[in-house]
Structure 1
Amino acid sequence: MSEIMSIQTVLAFIFTVLVSVSIVVVLIWLGWFLIFKVFLSKFRLVRELLGQGNGDEAPAVDQQPHMRVKKVRRD
């Protein structure tokens, strides 16, 4: 009988650890999501890093294809 109790105790411990870790992960994800929506989404650099740039902004190369950029070498 004590062996059955120990198996139940181990299973309860594993279940508790898994649920606790999953709750922490969900709370961290939710916090980052809210911070992004409220604050970080206002910065263009962050949006570009995440691939969420504005679709209405065309690159400068497409707007004026006849202009060439001269590269300056600095030693």
Structure 2
Amino acid sequence: MSQLQRIRRLSERKDEEYELRVREAKHTTPSERLTQALELSDIARELAKSVGAAWVTSPPADLGEKARRYPVGR
């Protein structure tokens, strides 16, 4: 399989996945989509915790620290 064929297949798959998401969104309420997003967020946090990701195990950057590190408009 050539590189061009692989790229074309990936592009087609991406388009199919997008169409599927659009169809699914039409059949779910905003509340259901929010619930799904929160569940995915919980899963991501648990996975990160299981591998010892620092942002989960010891989050040193509270809001004050983040404001110091990333000043906006200065």
Q: TM-score by structure 1 length?
A: 0.39
Q: From the two aligned structures, give the one with the greater helix fraction.
A: 2
Structure with bigger RCO (C-alpha 8 Å, 6+ apart): 2
